[in-house]
């Protein structure tokens, strides 16, 4: 897994989020303030700009640059949260990047979001897609899966995790203000996390 794969990951994530920005904003309109699609679309176009203006020389530089752009440019809760996933991954990722190393770094990224957002699985947030994805990656490593297979399993786990937020009542973020009325809607951040994992599977070597 080289620098080009990490750049391709963010380019594909930017493409998927741009394609789905109206769906993400619609989800946020139901239980938030109707800006998740535009927030993330803007943030990821800033990520692409940063990666073009300062061409990264390592996977760690891709993650740090992308994380920083998301923190600076997304004017919502999701910016600092996603930013912390990628910056934390960048802090601990060892090179050369192996599947086991990627999985370990991703797990630390998810822990960083849980800490920053004070969110746990079941709170109806992006954690409900990211944590199952992290678990799927770890299981794939344990079972000796190839990179593509592991990323596909992580993407599937994230998509299922996002769907599983529908019957949940939100306990964190804006959606929590709605109490029981947050039940019956997919969490927008969990939906976008599933797109990040789908993008990863799409660029797997």
Residues contributing to the site for Mg ion (CB under 5 A)? 28, 32-33, 35-36, 76
Helix, strand and coil in the chain, % to nearest 5: 75, 0, 25
User: Helix 21-31 vs helix 36-53: angle between axes, to the nearest 10 degrees?
Assistant: 140
**What is the rounded radius of gyration, in angstroms, for the C-alpha atoms of the chain?**
16
Sign of the alpha-carbon dihedral angle for 168, 171, 176, 180: positive
Name which of ligand ADP, Mg ion, none residue 37 binds, using a CB cut-off of 5 to 8 Å depending on partner kind.
Answer: none
The interface partner of residue 189, options being ligand ADP, Mg ion, none and the CB cut-off 5 to 8 Å by kind, is: ligand ADP
Q: Which is nearer to Mg ion, 69 or 74 (CB)?
A: 74
Q: How far is the CB of 15 from Mg ion (least distance, A)?
A: 21
Q: Which is nearer to Mg ion, 29 or 111 (CB)?
A: 29
The minimum distance between CB 77 and Mg ion, in angstroms, equals 7
C-alpha 118 chain-centroid distance: 17
Which residue, among 74, 75, 191, has the nearest Cα to 124 in the 3D structure?
A: 191
Q: Which is nearer to Mg ion, 107 or 186 (CB)?
A: 186
C-beta of 35 vs 123, nearer to Mg ion = 35
Contact set with ligand ADP (CB under 6 A): 28, 32-33, 35-36, 39, 76-78, 81, 113, 117-119, 125-127, 172-174, 187-190
User: By the 8 A CB rule, do 85 and 109 touch?
Assistant: yes
At closest approach, how far in Å is the CB of 97 from ligand ADP?
A: 26
Let me know how long the chain is: 205
Identify which of residues 32 and 43 has a Cβ nearer to Mg ion in the complex. Answer: 32
Partner touching 190 among Mg ion, ligand ADP, none, CB below 5 to 8 Å by kind: ligand ADP
């Amino acid at each position: 897994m080289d620098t080009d794969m990490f750049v391709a990951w963010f380019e594909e994530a930017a493409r998927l989020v741009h394609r789905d920005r109206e769906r993400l904003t619609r989800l946020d309109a139901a239980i938030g303030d109707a800006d998740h699609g535009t927030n993330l679309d803007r943030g990821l176009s800033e990520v692409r700009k940063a990666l073009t203006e300062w061409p990264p020389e390592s996977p760690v530089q891709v993650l740090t640059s992308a994380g920083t752009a998301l923190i600076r440019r997304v004017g919502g809760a999701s910016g600092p949260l996603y930013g912390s996933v990628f910056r934390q991954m960048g802090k601990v990722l060892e090179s050369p990047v192996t599947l086991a190393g990627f999985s370990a770094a991703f797990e630390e990224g998810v822990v960083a979001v849980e800490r920053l957002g004070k969110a746990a699985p079941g709170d109806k947030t992006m954690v409900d897609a990211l944590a199952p994805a992290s678990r799927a990656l770890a299981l794939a490593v344990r079972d000796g899966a190839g990179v593509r297979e592991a990323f596909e399993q992580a993407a599937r786990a994230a998509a299922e995790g996002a769907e599983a937020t529908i019957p949940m009542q939100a306990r964190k973020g804006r959606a929590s203000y709605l109490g029981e009325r947050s039940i019956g809607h997919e969490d927008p951040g969990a939906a976008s996390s599933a797109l990040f994992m789908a993008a990863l599977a799409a660029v797997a070597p």
